Structure 1
Amino acid sequence: MRKLLLCAAALLACGVGPAQAADLRDAWLAARQQHPGMAAAAAERAAGNARRLQADRVWNPTVAAQASAGAMGSRTSAQGAAFSLPGSAPVAGVGFETSMHSGPGTRWGVDARMPLYSPERSAQERQLRLSADLSELQAASLQQQLMLQTAERYFAAVLAEQQHALLVRQQQATDRALQEARDRFTAGDTPITDVREAQAHALATAAQAEAASVDLQIARRALAQTTGWDPAAPQVLRPPAPVGGNTEALGAAAALGPVTSWLEGAAQENLQLRTQAQLVAVAAQEAAKATQGASTKVDLVGQAGGEHLSGAGRWGSASNAARQFMVGVQIQVPLYTGGQQDARAQELLRLQDKAQANLDSARLEVTQQVHATWLQLQAGVARARALEAALTAAQARLDATQLGRQVGDRTTLELLRATNDALQAESQLLAHRARMAQARLQLLALAGRLDDAALQAATDAGTPAPSAPSAPSAPSAPLSLQPSS
């Protein structure tokens, strides 16, 4: 609460009106509503739904029609033919000729097919369904990346606000010490060196406060770009939840759980690994489509067509008309493709091997990240206790130095150093809490458990810290992209 009031005082000192308090979950809800990354995730999910619809219709029948019209010509010749008439003997050695020059002609045809058997089409169906699931995972990955980006910019803004507030306090304390040194020098109680030292500290602190003000504006604008908040009227942001402090630190360490649980959770739920595994399955189906046996097809076929041509020819006016239809089964078996299909199959098999190697590499990387983040959090609890103790000691030293300065046992320079040390200890503790909060979110993301509740816990000291994941029996569904109520 004390830090929250300091944030508000710093903002009012900068000339900013009353602002609405917000935590990390509020920032995420704002980012989810307006950030282009969520639009990209929604588009990716819609594309996956379209692929799933394609998979449902792979085995549907198809109907195609064609028609043509134009000036056509025809000539037929037959020699050595035979014909017979009723009541007469057959006549052999007969010749027939017909001819038409540039007469109007038309052709039409209708072809209906229903696939009955096709390994290539079966592989295509499986590939489309895998691609649809892959789109869901990619959409969830986009959402998770936006969550982490929002948290990173949120904590950067919190640190910038707190650092600026601390430097404002330090500048005020330095100005008071400078004025006191001048008054004492005027009264003859202190030498001019105290005034010079206090003046130098005051100038250095003013420069640091100005630089911190610039950093604060940059951090606010970066957060505003993610959340859509007005950078000119920023919300008062809640600081990260503490991770240290006597029994609380021990409880946080116990709640973290063993690293093996996090490794098992990451192996099953990590979005990067699930996405890469899906890419391996898609590559396997693409390779299955390129095998020679996959090109075998059995279709139920229905065909109908006709042709008509009329005009004048060598022997006078004439016309031809023909009609055809057929219903049956058509079988297509490739016998020789010139070696191109075999080469294509080899290419796709090598690409499948590459996808598998990428999956193995991703497993190693995720394992390393889980280990490193878990160790960072384990050590961070002890580090938080040490920083809290250092802050308590620095504050006690500042109080003693202030008292000693009043009675003349301490110099102005010693008071300025004690003030600086106390404020630096407070700044280091806040920065450490922000790093630990970011590390907790990163660990949850690696285990596929980053959600709104985790974001809420990052800035709410009353929310229990996330515990170690239990070993899942099967991968869970991707994160939902729909806004929660």
Structure 2
Amino acid sequence: MSAYLRIGTLFSVLFLNCALADTPSDLWSLYVEASREDPVLQREQAFHQASQQREQEARGRLLPQLSLSNTYSRSHQQYEQGRLLYNGSSHGINLRQPLYDPAVWRSYERFRELTEQQHLAIDDTQKQTALQIAELYFAILAAEDERDLTEAELQATQRNQQRIQALFKRQMAMLTDVLDADARVAELQANLLDAVNAAQTSRDAMAERIGRPVEEPLKRLGTQPDFNQLRRHEVDWVAKALQLNPALRSQEHGIAAAEHAVREAKAGHLPQVSLNLTAQRSDLGYEGNPSPESTNLIAAVGIQLPLYSGGSTRARSAALQAEQQAASHDYERLRREIIRQTRNAQLKVETAPARIQAATQALQAAIKSRQAAERAFELGVFNAVDVLERVRDEFRSRRDLLRSQYNYITQLLLLYRWSGTLSEQDLRTVSKLLHE
């Protein structure tokens, strides 16, 4: 019976996998998978966990330090008069509380800034992952559009090739027309192979991010997608980016952490004050000699003032100051890049609707031009080259329209990513524009 159960389970799993392979995926579902499986994002999350623990470690050095000591001994002493054999023990508890330790406090402040920096780095990585998944998604659609349109163009060209060959047999077309049609068919067949490879390469790139083969069909844009529900209107995108971009804010915390590190190093010249409370009970005396059991309660304030460390404290401070300057330069470089990228994305977003409108009109004109050329060829007004050129123009216009729509969406998401406003809701909105 168990063998039959295993066979039934196997067929159930295979059936489920086949069903999933036929279920179309959209942008949101693939992003959810990437959020779970993307090693880049998981790496940043691991770094964040490590920074949280280091902050806790630094905070623990500010809190009371409690230690317990127990000593058990058995002593054998030899004298001229004889020997002495006895057992001894000593028990103690010590509490140490730093009262003034600037190096420890500034170390805690530094790790607190580093934790916040890593938290913002995760936010930036999540936004970057969302953008990259969207870019890969539409790259797959564009590659498969290229494949499908090339195949359709090949079929249309082959129909014209057959028509030209039939006319040639009736001496109504020239040999050059036949040769041009044959050359165009051969070119499209080669282009189709490249398009098939490009489509598979695009899916492999997506599979690398989500950790599984992407073999199911993907949902596509409708015939007249409403991009207005995705568009947000902002007066000053650059100001928004400088305020909200998580990578830039992460750099700000990195600079603050570097400043605390410099102050921590300079604290090596400052005194340290601590309170020590000790309780001890022992029956051991000097050099382990037996003594009556005694209890000692000690309260002490310790002051430690460093005088000279061979110049290492000053050198460490200078090195950390140089690292702080490097962090400031990185911040300025990133700030300038964000300004440039935000403006560039904003300009492309503003011109994208006009480009889509122009591509739509160009496609309509190309369809009419191809239809007119085919009728003119039948009447002997156009030659075969004219017809093939019109077919090529029509399919080029179809490609341009689809790519302009994909570019509009990705440029919008890119603008939101640089401005720090890209959210999961944006991906959900894009997914609503997709249909099976």
> Corresponding residue for 1:287?
262
Asked whether the equivalents of residues 288 and 294 of structure 1 are also in contact (C-alpha less than 8 Å), the reply is: no
Counterparts in 2 of 1:100 and 1:137: CA distance versus 1, 3 Å: farther
Given the alignment of the two structures, is residue 145 of structure 1 paired with residue 131 of structure 2, yes or no? no
- In structure 2, what is the Cα distance between the partners aligned to 1:255 and 1:445? 13
Equivalent of 2:151 in 146, 168, 192: 168
> Corresponding residue for 1:35?
38
Higher helix share: 2
- In structure 2, what is the Cα distance between the partners aligned to 1:155 and 1:345? 50
> Corresponding residue for 1:93?
none
Equivalent of 2:48 in 18, 22, 45: 45
Tell me by how many angstroms 1:46 deviates: 2.6
Equivalent of 2:366 in 389, 394, 398: 394
- In structure 1, what is the Cα distance between the partners aligned to 2:387 and 2:36? 50
1:1-20 equivalent positions in 2, closer than 5 A: 19-20=22-23
1:46-61 equivalent positions in 2, closer than 5 A: 46-54=49-57, 57-61=60-64
Equivalent of 1:370 in 334, 342, 350: 342
Tell me by how many angstroms 1:345 deviates: 1.9
Given the alignment of the two structures, is residue 202 of structure 1 paired with residue 185 of structure 2, yes or no? yes
Asked whether the equivalents of residues 68 and 108 of structure 1 are also in contact (C-alpha less than 8 Å), the reply is: yes
- Which 5+ residue runs of structure 2 have no aligned equivalent? 1-18
Given the alignment of the two structures, is residue 271 of structure 1 paired with residue 253 of structure 2, yes or no? no
Counterparts in 2 of 1:124 and 1:101: CA distance versus 1, 3 Å: farther
Post-superposition Cα deviations, 1:268-326, rounded to whole Å, max 9, x if no partner, equal 111111111010111111111122477432222112455737999xxxxx746786541
Post-superposition Cα deviations, 1:137-171, rounded to whole Å, max 9, x if no partner, equal 12112212221221221111011110001001001
Tell me by how many angstroms 1:386 deviates: 2.5
> Corresponding residue for 1:81?
none
1:301-340 equivalent positions in 2, closer than 5 A: 301-305=276-280, 306=282, 308=284, 319=290, 324-340=296-312
Asked whether the equivalents of residues 103 and 311 of structure 1 are also in contact (C-alpha less than 8 Å), the reply is: no
Secondary structure at the counterpart of residue 236 of structure 1: coil
1:178-189 equivalent positions in 2, closer than 5 A: 178-189=161-172
Secondary structure at the counterpart of residue 358 of structure 2: helix
1:65-464 equivalent positions in 2, closer than 5 A: 65-66=68-69, 109-228=92-211, 230-231=213-214, 233-239=215-221, 256-258=233-235, 261-292=236-267, 295-305=270-280, 306=282, 308=284, 319=290, 324-458=296-430, 460-461=432-433
Tell me by how many angstroms 1:236 deviates: 2.5
Asked whether the equivalents of residues 119 and 294 of structure 1 are also in contact (C-alpha less than 8 Å), the reply is: no
- In structure 2, what is the Cα distance between the partners aligned to 1:300 and 1:18? 68
Counterparts in 2 of 1:22 and 1:181: CA distance versus 1, 3 Å: same
Tell me by how many angstroms 1:102 deviates: 12
- In structure 2, what is the Cα distance between the partners aligned to 1:420 and 1:17? 37
Post-superposition Cα deviations, 1:173-193, rounded to whole Å, max 9, x if no partner, equal 111111111222223322332
Asked whether the equivalents of residues 252 and 381 of structure 1 are also in contact (C-alpha less than 8 Å), the reply is: no
Q: Tell me the TM-score normalized by structure 2.
A: 0.82
Equivalent of 1:64 in 51, 62, 67: 67
- In structure 2, what is the Cα distance between the partners aligned to 1:29 and 1:241? 26
Tell me by how many angstroms 1:240 deviates: 8.9
Counterparts in 2 of 1:73 and 1:335: CA distance versus 1, 3 Å: farther
Asked whether the equivalents of residues 141 and 272 of structure 1 are also in contact (C-alpha less than 8 Å), the reply is: yes
- In structure 1, what is the Cα distance between the partners aligned to 2:75 and 2:402? 88
Q: Which amino acid aligns with 2:121?
A: Q
> Corresponding residue for 2:3?
none
Post-superposition Cα deviations, 1:184-237, rounded to whole Å, max 9, x if no partner, equal 222332233222221111111111111101111111121122234543x32223
- In structure 2, what is the Cα distance between the partners aligned to 1:283 and 1:319? 55
- In structure 2, what is the Cα distance between the partners aligned to 1:49 and 1:343? 29
Fraction of identical pairs, as percent = 24
Asked whether the equivalents of residues 94 and 278 of structure 2 are also in contact (C-alpha less than 8 Å), the reply is: yes
Secondary structure at the counterpart of residue 409 of structure 1: coil
Q: Which amino acid aligns with 1:167?
A: T
Asked whether the equivalents of residues 160 and 216 of structure 1 are also in contact (C-alpha less than 8 Å), the reply is: yes
Asked whether the equivalents of residues 71 and 102 of structure 1 are also in contact (C-alpha less than 8 Å), the reply is: yes
Q: CA RMSD in A?
A: 3.6
Secondary structure at the counterpart of residue 173 of structure 2: coil
Asked whether the equivalents of residues 148 and 442 of structure 1 are also in contact (C-alpha less than 8 Å), the reply is: yes
Q: Which amino acid aligns with 1:28?
A: Y
Which shifted more, 194-203 or 182-191? 182-191
- In structure 1, what is the Cα distance between the partners aligned to 2:35 and 2:379? 58
Q: How many residues align?
A: 412
Asked whether the equivalents of residues 230 and 429 of structure 2 are also in contact (C-alpha less than 8 Å), the reply is: no
Q: Which amino acid aligns with 2:403?
A: A
Tell me by how many angstroms 1:431 deviates: 2.0
Which shifted more, 443-452 or 372-381? 372-381
- In structure 2, what is the Cα distance between the partners aligned to 1:136 and 1:71? 56
Counterparts in 2 of 1:242 and 1:150: CA distance versus 1, 3 Å: farther
Secondary structure at the counterpart of residue 22 of structure 2: coil
